[in-house]
Amino acid sequence: MATIPSLNEANLEAICDVLAATDGGLTGSQIDRFLKACNITDIQPGITKRHRLFEALSVRQRQDGCANNIFAFIKRVMDPVLYNQNPEYFAGLRSRLNRPMAFAGFQVREDGEILPVTPAKTIDDADQRAGRLQSELRRRQVHPDILIYCRSEIIHENYFHAVLEATKSLAEKIRRKSGLTSDGAELATQAFSLGQSGIPVMAFNSLQTDTARSEQTGLMNLFIGLFGAFRNVTAHGPKILWDIGEKDALDLLTLVSLLHRRLDDAVLTRQAQQ
């Protein structure tokens, strides 16, 4: 493993403040267990958690002349398998930890690995590196298919390609459920249009009332508009000419989540099955 330069005292103290926080941090017994697992001496086990952790890690860093064992400790704590019963806790801890980590020039990924990044210089910079997009999407309880199709792009806050993959995921689900093979607006029209018969290939509701048929057409137009406004632009335009920020990405991915849920409940009509 390459030598990792020592963290300055402020960075290390901020990291320990997160990991050993009274609310949402490691317990005293967990600190003891993780320090022992990483062969780091617990210098002052009787003091407050965050000071105890800071003393143990800072002494080891001075002994080593590098931060390698500190990072080994962080990776041990942030092993996602430890949180398989509580993924929301892991996401929150990772988001909080990535703020001070960003100032040190590192980021903890969703798989627990630690990657170098350009060091943050302001609090806003640190927040942008702290996985806010993923945390906010989880808070909004977005459809799980978004996290499956866009996992890498969301982790790396890649708004441009998160948008692209999200819209592609909708088209893929329509094709899978309907058996159609087209794409974009053409696919949405073929799948959901009432047409002359008044019966679409896929129905979002019973189609028995004017209100239901209006909803069917309205949802079709949402798909058409989404593909036209976002997928076509992102698929064919260079990233530097199509800028998208965090707020727009969140709103778009929330809309995609709504459409995924409606697709889950949509059914093939008898006419389509004949």
Residue-wise pLDDT tens digits, 218-255? 999 999 999 887 765 544 555 444 567 778 888 889 99
- Tell me the Ramachandran region of residue 195: left when phi exceeds 0, alpha when psi lies from -120 to 50, beta otherwise: left
Cα separation of 135 and 205, whole Å?
Answer: 32
* DSSP secondary structure, the chain, as one string: -PPPPPPPHHHHHHHHHHHT-TTTS--HHHHHHHHHHTT---S-TTS-HHHHHHHHHHHHHHHHTSSHHHHHHHHHHT-GGGGTT-HHHHHHHHHHHHHHHHHHTEEE-TTS-EEE-PPP-SHHHHHHHTTHHHHHHHHTT--HHHHHHTHHHHHTT-HHHHHHHHHHHHHHHHHHHH-----HHHHHHHHH--TTTT--SEESS---SHHHHHHHHHHHHHHHHHIIIIIHHHHHS-GGGS---HHHHHHHHHHHHHHHHHHHH-EE-HHHH-
Residue-wise pLDDT tens digits, 84-140? 888 878 877 888 899 899 999 998 988 889 988 888 888 777 766 666 677 678 778
What dihedral do alpha carbons 258, 263, 266, 267 form, nearest 10°? -170
For the segment 38-65, the average pLDDT, to the nearest whole number, is: 93
Cα separation of 81 and 212, whole Å?
Answer: 45
10-19, 40-49, 70-79, 148-157: which has the minimum mean pLDDT?
148-157
15-19, 235-239, 255-259: which has the minimum mean pLDDT?
235-239
Q: Which residues contact 9 (CB under 8 A, 6 or more apart)?
A: 58
- Kindly state the tokens that stand for 243: 């800028």
Of the candidates 42, 26, 106, 97, the residue with the CA atom closest to the CA atom of residue 68: 106
Q: Is 265:152 a contact under the CB 8 Å cutoff?
A: no
Q: Is 96:130 a contact under the CB 8 Å cutoff?
A: yes
Token pair 């030598």 is found at 3
Q: Is 69:37 a contact under the CB 8 Å cutoff?
A: no
Of the candidates 17, 19, 61, the residue with the CA atom closest to the CA atom of residue 40: 61
CA 80, chain centre distance (Å): 14
38-52, 165-179, 222-236: which has the minimum mean pLDDT?
222-236
Q: Is 112:80 a contact under the CB 8 Å cutoff?
A: yes
Q: What is the pTM of this model?
A: 0.55
Q: Which residues contact 123 (CB under 8 A, 6 or more apart)?
A: 99
Domain definitions of the chain by residue range: 9-130, 144-273
